[in-house]
Amino acid sequence: MTTFVELLLNGLSIGAVYALIALGFVIVFRATEVVNFAHASLLLAGGYVTAVLRDDIGFLAALVVGVAGAALLGALIEFLVIRRYRGRDHSVLAIVTIGVDIVLLAELTRRIGSNVYPMGDPWGDGVLTLGGVSVPHTRVAAFVTAGLIIAAFLLAFRLTSWGVATRAVAEHPETAALMGIRLGRVSLSAWAVAGGLATVAALFLTVFPTPGLERGTSLAALKAFPAAILGGLDSTTGALVGGLVIGVTQSLATGYQSDLTFLGRGIGDLAPYLVMLLVLLVRPAGLFGTRELARV
């Protein structure tokens, strides 16, 4: 039972991190209708900047610079590439982001090489034990931070004029533009936000118990894609639920791996995708996605 609770808590925490990534993904999709396959490399870029700078300027400052850097990179991608394609077919745009991803990923993997960059976070490898259930400090920090950031964004969506503008664009871009909302700014800010969120996620994907940032970190980020799809690409609630479902599934599958040996080693990494396929079989638009209604 203790193991189960531990795994569940770990899963919720990692799920909150996936939710952060998926949230950025969904924000970009709602603002520009582009499926951002470059998201994984944005995450790696932010994480890389943080990890490289932390020796010189300290952890917190490095994290701030990393977040700002990834946000800037996201904004640059939007400004230099995505903006030029507005009005084109969206599946072609998705392929364009794949092109961007190939370039960024090639550069980052070349820089990272076979190194592992520890994040140098203040939590270290401390473990919190409550009534026999022990959870690493990093997991607690991840859950709290991700929860706060997500809550802040949900509030911003409801209350700020930026949030209203973003929601209006997601609802109907042309009408929003006619109402005086600047589509360019909305999509620029969406990409920047996605980059920033991805960097925070990168931090929590690479702290204890994982050794640090490495080439493979972007593969971990790919697990947030099923999270976004599972919840429904155009739903922020979906991103949260999807992230948590994926996180818990992965944690449980990894934890009970020894009972699941017939499925082979590393089933935990596969579990998110299997869950996604199952959900898509039943609900092709995801759990909270809007079912497309078309009037002919």
Partner 1 sequence: MSEPTTPLTASGATASGAAASGAAASEITAPPAGPRPAGRRATRVGPSRRRAAYAAAGSPVLLALPFYVDRFWLQAGLLAMAAAIGAIGLTLLTGATGQLSLGHAFFLAVGAYGYCVLAGDGEGAGEPVGLGLPSWAAVVLAVLLAGVAGGVFSPIAGRLRGAYLGIATLALIFIGQHVLFNAHDLTGGYNGRAVPPLSLFGLTFDDSETVVAAVPFQAMEKLWYVGLLLLAGCALFARGVLRGRPGRAMNAIRDHRIAAGVMGVPVARHRAAVFVLSSMYAGLAGVLLALVFQQTVPEYFGFILSLEYLAMIVIGGLGSVTGAVVGAAFVTLLPQILTRYSEVLPLVSAPGTGGVSPGEVSRYLYGAAIVAVVLFLPGGLVRLAARRGPIEKDEAERP
For binding to partner 1 (CB under 8 A), which residues are involved?
A: 29, 35, 37, 81, 84-92, 94-96, 98-103, 105-107, 110, 173-174, 176-178, 183, 219, 222, 225-226, 228-229, 233, 264-267, 269-270, 273-274, 276-277, 280-281, 284-286, 294, 296
CB of 145 or CB of 218, closer to partner 1 = 218
CB of 68 or CB of 183, closer to partner 1 = 183
Cβ of residue 9: shortest distance to partner 1, in angstroms? 25
CB of 1 or CB of 291, closer to partner 1 = 291
Cβ of residue 153: shortest distance to partner 1, in angstroms? 21
CB of 136 or CB of 286, closer to partner 1 = 286
CB of 67 or CB of 82, closer to partner 1 = 82
Cβ of residue 270: shortest distance to partner 1, in angstroms? 5
Q: How is the chain classified by DSSP, letter by letter?
A: -HHHHHHHHHHHHHHHHHHHHHHHHHHHHHHH----TTHHHHHHHHHHHHHHHHHHH-HHHHHHHHHHHHHHHHHHHHHHTGGGGTTS-HHHHHHHHHHHHHHHHHHHHHHHTT--B----TTTT-EEEETTEEEEHHHHHHHHHHHHHHHHHHHHHHHSHHHHHHHHHHH-HHHHHHTT--HHHHHHHHHHHHHHHHHHHHHHHHSTTS--B-TTHHHHHTTHHHHHHHH-TT-HHHHHHHHHHHHHHHHHHHHTGGGGGGG-TTHHHHHHHHHHHHHHHH-TT-SSSPPP----
Alpha carbon distance 174, 191 (integer Å): 20
Alpha carbon distance 240, 196 (integer Å): 17
Cβ of residue 50: shortest distance to partner 1, in angstroms? 23
CB of 136 or CB of 195, closer to partner 1 = 195
- By CB neighbour count within 10 A (0-12 exposed, 13-18 middle, 19+ buried), where does 151 fall? exposed
Cβ of residue 101: shortest distance to partner 1, in angstroms? 8
Cβ of residue 234: shortest distance to partner 1, in angstroms? 10
Cβ of residue 74: shortest distance to partner 1, in angstroms? 16
CB of 138 or CB of 235, closer to partner 1 = 235
Cβ of residue 144: shortest distance to partner 1, in angstroms? 29
CB of 54 or CB of 223, closer to partner 1 = 223
Token match 């706060």: residue? 148
